[in-house]
Each structure stands twice: as structure tokens, then as C-alpha cells.
Structure 1
């Protein structure tokens, strides 16, 4: 490669045209399965420019992209490197659909593209063959698209390469980061464009421990979730910068948010020793280090569970007219809450039979009888079940059941909470609904059942449940969002454990609980039982 690489916008235009052409030849489902989302031009250039500033000017650049695609980062290198010397540039691409056209596109350029799975390559052992500038937008492949054999191989390789014990729920990008450790020279700079969810989820703790202890974490920039970086992927993105060396004493990491990498909306330095892999890092830089909450949490007052997963809502959830037309016997139907968009009031009232008084009333099909008995005794139900044998019954969840049409038994919860909310809309991102009916709920809701502590109080003060429901809806938007996780487009989710960690001293005070921990209260309850 020559000492100076001329900025060549025409080459980038050709690459973008090739990218669009190749993407159009694949279905969205196929690209999702392989996590193929190309980096936008300006973002790639911003990342390269930032990385070059981190690398000492006297060093010859040794560039590596482990998931090169059509070469968006290499193209950005050409336009940003200016007069610096590039010793070599290399990339890997697992998919020949992109790899071979990329080789052809850059055949006149000093770029070596290997068609193959990066995770199965042998890393170099000589310093001159290791990269000092590694830039990558790794494939965003979710864990359920990885076979158990691949997970076992990847987990073993990640531990060997970077001393990371990656959980089974981690996406492929976590393994890419771990395996790349041996491809970098000491003191080398890496930038990873990855989903920001690793900052909050449990499987991300291993990756955060690596960033805190095995390398020097320089900077994490998180984009505003409402400003999705990829047109074809609903994911909130972050850029993680680190140097391959152990962190120095009193090291500080830059956390920035919103805007651009060079001009973020918020920015703050956080001492590395104040960071813990277990904490939610998306609180930075807009918030300070969280103070450990010593009082009550919602999990002390409620047992919180996800609603039931039917295996196929379109098949198992029917409206009353459908059920009547199909002739489904009433004993195999139980009320279930519809989507929250069909629930106008936050209080769900019921008729004398416990059916929710809603404009849209849904019924869950559930039967635990063997199919031969159904065929003899309930021919209408049997006939309907036959329509789902070739597709619904073959789904993962249905296949794992004793009878593929038998649902999990989940009692109605007195309070349910919407599982998904949005921060870019006015009002509350999550709704707490007071459920006065006997309707159960699907997994678009979280179900709140009184804990033994709360149940004991409700025995002599049933009206306290309404007070708690009102107080739940008064919890600040910021508190709920801080405890949840964020995705692209301003979408937020709350998992049961995350909602359980929300501080609840004010709610505890409503039912007469003081500052004592709930364990003490439970001991008192037990002593009087």
C-alpha cells in the first residue's frame, strides 16, 4: 500500500451501489439471521477518523476488519488516512455473497479479503502480523441462531483468547470481540460498533468485565435510541473504544451520548474503579454512579412474572365470535387480556362471570386432553386443531409440550404492566393496569402477584391494592427507563427482574411498612401464623 491513500469518493459510491445490489438479492429474514447490516458511510468515516487520532502518528497502520462485508470501514480508511503510512489491510467475510464481489471491487487496492469464518481462523503470533487498528461492525446474530455445538466451540475459544466466560444468551458479536483479542498487537486500538444492549443485560456482564480488566476502556459513545443508525435494523448502537493493555491506576473512561462521536450531546468521565459489570451502564453520562438502594424494592411487594407464551397467538387466541363459529367448547376457553392498545382505561372491570368488560374480548384456547379423546368427544375442537398440525404444532414451544395445544397455567394477576414502552412519546412509557377480571395475560405483559409480605397486609386491608396501583402509575418515567433496557427507535423493555429492582419505599409506606427490611417483616408474619 502506498504511503498516501488518496480520498476516493467514487470508490465509495461504487461500494454503496454494490451493497444495495447485494442486499436486494437477499431476504430481510436471511440478513437478520446472519446479522448483515452495513455501516453507513459517514458513520464509518467518523469512526475511522476518531481511531486514527487515538493511534500514535509515528506508527504504521496495520488495519483489520473481522467482518468486512463490502468494505465500508476500509473505504473510510482510504478517505481519512491522509499522509499516514498503511503497512497492510486485511478483512474476513463469511458470506461469499458479499465476499467475492468485495474482492472484485477492491482487486486493485492493497486489501486482502479472506472468505471464511473469522471465528475459526488461527490468529497471528508475530507482532508485525497483528493489527494495531481493528475496526469492526460484527454480525448481530442472536443466540438462538447459534447451534449448541457452535456455542460450545465459541465459548471455549473466547475463554482461551480473552479470559471471558460468555453466557449462552450472548449474541455472536460478543464472541467476535473476545476472539479478536489475539489478533491485536499490544497497545493496539479497537473500535466496535455493537448493540448498546450489552450495557444493561445480564449476558453483557462478561463483556463489561473484559473491558474493565483485560483492556483499557477508552470511550463508549451511545447513540440516541430515537436516532437509529441502521435503516434495516431496529437496534440501538454504541461504539466501544479500547486499547489492548491492562488499565492504568485511576483510569477514567469517557461515556458520551447522543449527537455525533465528535460532538455528543452529553459526555462525562467515569473512574473505571467506580464501574461494575453488574450495573446498567446506559445510565451514563446523563446520570451519576447509582447509589445502592437499601430500602424496599418492588420485588419485595410483588412476585413478578412474564405473561404466558402461547406458541402462536394467532392460532390460540380467539375472539368470542370466532370461538362460537368454530364451536369450541367453553371449558377449553379462558379469558386473556388483549394488547394494551385495546385497553383504554388503566382499570379493567369485569362482569359477574369475571370476563373483562372490554370492547375487544379475547379467549385463550387451552386443552390438556389427549388428541384421540378430543377427536371422539369434541369433534369441533379436534377439527380446528388439525388446521394447526403442519405449522403451529411444529413450533419450538409447541413441540416441547406434552400436548402441543396445552397452555401454561398462569392465574390472573391483580396488576399487570406493559412489557414494552416508548420514550419518544408523551405520557408514561409503561402502564400498570388494575385487573379486576379473571383474565390471564400473554408475554406482552408483566404479571404482578402480591408477595407473602404484601398478601399478609391485604388480608386485613384489601383496599391497599388500589393505593399501590395508583402509586405504581406515579413512579417517574425516568426511574422505570433507568431500570429497563433500550433498543432502537426509542423502544424500551422491562424484564421481571428489572421491574423487581425498582425502589419502592414510598409504596411500602402506603401499607404501613417502615424502613425495616422485608425479611424482618416476614419473620414477624411467620411468628404470628
Structure 2
């Protein structure tokens, strides 16, 4: 069978959504063979709990053809397709089963997988409840509900790893960057030996076109050790990766691979997806100078977020509207000005937030009442987030932030000075300096624009494909700040003088 360098992703949106629902992104041969080379040492059988179309079985035939193979998958159709294509041979035993809820009743010396990448918002509440039990049984406690299916695959697989056995999983970076990661890696690092971690440069990604950064975790069921080998693969189709894993992570001279030996405590503290840092203890973080909140979640942008033309057509007076921006691409550069807002309006972009807060129903104009009635007819009042509000059309409140943070998108994450006086939607974070003093704000702005500050975002953010990064509010407050620069500017921590909420 001819090996495929990369999985060809569908171009149609509905087909890509189906792919995301199943989380099936096939592992390219150059990566699969390296992973199999690592786990196959000292084992006569390789287990793949999410076998799919047999990428690791194909790799096994090339790397260790005498070894047997056992694979499971919940998708009977994909296994049937692989059988029809003649991928699996006589030494492959396959079962259709739910690996999380019905795992094999045995342990394995070698486990290799690219688990289904299904994020938490695609899981039902019933699934989440069942998965929490898996966490409770194995870890002794539950982990945050934002953990995706792939996290529970790793937990279940580690529970089936035999003494002295090896595991190689390729997973998204959120495995060690998500809000659940601290608990997860605290358990893993104390119970297992984290032997090695392999990351990839953007140009070397095994999954081009997929919005995630991949990481290979190499773990042994042995006594933990204080050091971990950490590598970055610099080019695709990398033969050095195969040699490095085949040689049991020994040595440093491999083509197009940067290799570091890190203290385990530093690696886990900094984040296994991130480059090693010697100076991971910082004098200041952003929380010393500012507070952070997410932007406004309307629950229905199509109803609450309006263009100037639409608001005029409906007849909503200006006192029921707030200037707002929703998309990061609508805030170009590092300053959002009133002129930029006018330009967006001319382009037909929504720039107004429907904000009926503070007005009694009997005092509202008929045009506003009619618009609210229309929203009820369309079912907006029954949406999950909106239905919790009393009345349903009452909007979340944010004071106008001095700074914005564009935290996820194809463009570089950046801080933005809010000169237009807008309130942002959830594409942004709101940053409120702990002082209203003009000089204080000027100094903080200089710090936020400093290259060190921007570079440190990778220490607190979740990384995605093509260099995109996502930083949650509490994570942004932990952003390390250059202490020397703060001192040189005379910028000192202060208690907050800026309210995050206003009463309406």
C-alpha cells in the first residue's frame, strides 16, 4: 500500500464538521513509524486503542513486522473500510468497542495511539459524567469539564500500561495547557516516568490545516525520574525523529531535531508544550498591574449585535446602543480608534450592542418593545445563556476597558489600546489597569507592547495551529512581566481603583 504523507482534509464545511465530530485525524507514516519504534522495544504485541484505518499497524509492518497487533475502535465503519482496503494482516486482532467505557480487561507492554481529538463542547453531558468517573477511579479526583475525549483516552491507556511498559501518544497541545492540565500532569509525573516529549515547528506539523499543535508523549510505567528529554522537530518527513525514538532517546545529534534535557519540575511547571526556561520565577505578573475579564457574551450576536443600518431600520434610539467590536479582524493594529469604528460602519460591519438595561418596560419606545417581542418569537429568550437572565434581553455589563487583548485568531495575539471607547464581545479580553492615573496607564501600555511581554504569552496560553494562541482571563493575569522594565519606568503594583462592573 502506498503511504500517504498527510491526511487530505475535506474542503466542504459540513464534511469538516463531521470529521471534527469523530475527531479522526490520521497519523502520517513518518511520525507513526517513529512512535512504534519507541514502544516496540521489548514487546511482542502492540496495542492501539483508537486504531482507525491502521496507521500504526502499517508502521508496525515496516518497523517490527514480527510483532503482533491488537486494535480497538468505536467506529465499525472505519475498521470495515480498512479491512476492505487490505490494510490489516493475519497478525492483527481487531475489536469494535468503546475504549473509555469498555476497555480491554488486560494490561499491555506497548500502547501507541493518536486518540480521537474531540473537544469538550462536542461531548454530551452524559458522556462528560461518565468520563468524570474514569478520572475519579484512576486519579482519585475529577478534572475540569473542559477536558476533551483525548484526555480520557490517555488516562485509560495509562491505567492499562503494564509494569515496565511503554506508551507513545500523539496529542494536541491543550493536553498540557488546558485548565485541567495541572491535575493531570501532577498525577502522571508522580505515578509514571515521563521519558520524553516531542514538539513540532509549525512548518513540521504532522497535521497541516488542522487548528492544533501536536505533541508526542513518551511515558513508561516505571519509577518517576527527575529529568525528561524534550525535543522539537524542525522539519517534516524527518528521519532524525525515527532515529531518536528508535535509539531510546539517547544522544543529541539527530538531523533537524533540537533536544534538551530538562528538570521534570521545570518542564511541568513551564508546560511540556513550551520551550525550556531557566527563569520561570518572575517578580511580577500582569495581575500586579491590571485585572482581566472576558468580553461580553451576548448569547445571540445576530439579535444583540447590530449594524448602524439595521439599528436605524428597526428604529432603536442611540440611548439603547453601545459601541462594540466583535471580531479580532475588525481591530487592526495596536490601536482601535473612533475613525476605525466609522470605517467598520461604512463596510457594513456590526458595531452596536443592543443594550436595553436600566430602562423600564413602560418607558421603552414602541420600536424597542417590538424588537424585543420579535426576539421572543424567534426563540432567542429560550437559548441556554439568555434564559438565565431576568429579563432575558438584559445584557451583560462591562465598563469600557482601557486595553483589549485579541487572544485567538489567525493574526498574532496582541494588546490593543481602546481609543474608540467600545465594549468588546468574547473575541477579546478586557484589561483594566489598577489605577486611572494617566502616567500609570502610559507606562503599563509601554510594558504591554514590549517584545518580552508578547513572547511570554506562550508561557500562559494554549497554542493552536498556524501560530494561533488562546489565553483565558486568569491565565493572562499570570502573564510574566519584565521586572527590569517595570522598575526602569517606575511602574509599581497598585490596588485596583477601576471597577469591573457597573450597576445598571
**In terms of Rg, which structure is larger?**
1
Out of 360, 366, 375, the residue aligned to residue 344 of structure 2 is 360
For residues 308-319 of structure 1, what are the structure 2 equivalents within 5 Å?
308-319=296-307
- Equivalent residue for 1:101? 81
Matches within 5 A, 1:81-100: 81-82=64-65, 85-86=66-67, 88-100=68-80
8 Å CA contact 1:370, 1:403 repeated in 2? no
Q: How high is the TM-score relative to the length of structure 1? A: 0.79
The answer to whether 1:296 aligns with 2:284 is yes
| Equivalent residues of 2:48, 2:72 under 8 A apart | yes
Which range moves more in the overlay, 322-331 or 297-306?
322-331
- Look up the SS of the partner of 1:246 in the other structure: coil
Instruction: Name the structure 2 match of 1:414.
Output: 402
Asked if the contact 2:413–2:468 (Cα under 8 Å) also holds between the matched residues in 1, the reply is no
TM-score, normalised to structure 2, is 0.82
Q: Secondary structure at the match of 1:189?
A: strand
Pair 1:239-2:216 in alignment: yes
2:500 corresponds to which residue?
Answer: none
Give 3-state SS (helix, strand or coil) of 2:385's partner: helix
Alpha carbons 1:371, 1:382 under 8 Å: kept: no
Q: Partner of 1:256 in structure 2?
A: 232
Alignment of 1:362-511 (within 5 A): 362-368=351-357, 377-379=365-367, 382-383=370-371, 386=374, 389-390=377-378, 392-393=380-381, 395-420=383-408, 429-451=412-434, 454-455=435-436, 458=437, 462-476=438-452, 477-501=454-478, 502-505=480-483, 508-509=486-487
Residues 212-223 of structure 1 aligned to structure 2 (within 5 Å)? 212-223=189-200
Alpha-carbon distance change, 381 to 73 in structure 1, aligned in 2, over 3 angstroms: farther
State the alpha-carbon separation in 2 of the partners of residues 175 and 155 from structure 1.
9
- The 2-side partners of 1:148 and 1:500 are apart by 30
Residue in structure 1 matched with residue 315 of structure 2 by the alignment: 327
User: What is the DSSP-based 3-state SS (H/G/I as helix, E as strand, rest coil) of the residue aligned with 1:118?
Assistant: coil
- Check 1:348–1:64 CA distance in 2 against 1; reply closer, same or farther (3 A cut): closer
| 1:404 shift after superposition | 4.0
Does 2:273 align with 1:282? yes
| Residue correspondence of structure 1 range 14-413 to structure 2 within 5 A | 27-52=15-40, 55-56=41-42, 59=43, 61-82=44-65, 85-86=66-67, 88-104=68-84, 105=86, 108-125=89-106, 130-161=107-138, 163=140, 165-231=142-208, 233-248=210-225, 250-259=226-235, 260=238, 261-262=241-242, 263-276=255-268, 278-284=269-275, 287-293=276-282, 295-337=283-325, 339-344=327-332, 346-350=334-338, 358-361=342-345, 362-368=351-357, 377-379=365-367, 382-383=370-371, 386=374, 389-390=377-378, 392-393=380-381, 395-413=383-401
User: What's the offset of the Cα at 1:134?
Assistant: 0.8
Partners of 1:363 and 1:406 in 2: CA distance: 15
> Which stretches in structure 1 are left out of the alignment for 5+ residues?
1-8, 524-529
Please list every run of at least 4 consecutive aligned residues from structure 1 whose deviation after the TM superposition is greater than 6 angstroms.
19-26, 369-374
TM-superposed CA distance for 1:410, in Å, is 0.9
Cα distance in 2 for partners of 1:345, 1:243 equals 47
Question: Is the CA contact (8 Å cut-off) linking 1:253 and 1:271 kept in structure 2?
Answer: no
Superposed CA deviations along residues 84-105 of structure 1, whole A, max 9, x for unmatched, are: x32x321111123313333444
Q: Check conservation: 2:404, 2:429, Cα contact below 8 A.
A: yes
Secondary structure, in 3 states, of the residue corresponding to 2:273?
helix
CA RMSD between the two structures: 3.5
**What is the aligned length?**
472
Q: Distance in 2 between matches of 1:478 and 1:22?
A: 34
Instruction: Summarize the Cα distance change of 1:258–1:389 in structure 2 as closer, same or farther, 3 Å threshold.
Output: farther
Q: 1:26 and 1:378, CA in 2 relative to 1: closer, same or farther beyond 3 A?
A: closer
Where does the alignment leave 5 or more consecutive residues of structure 2 unmatched? 243-254, 346-350, 497-504
Q: Secondary structure at the match of 1:222?
A: strand
Q: d(CA) in 1 for partners of 2:161 and 2:343?
A: 61
Distance in structure 2 (CA, Å) of the matches to 1:414 and 1:522: 16
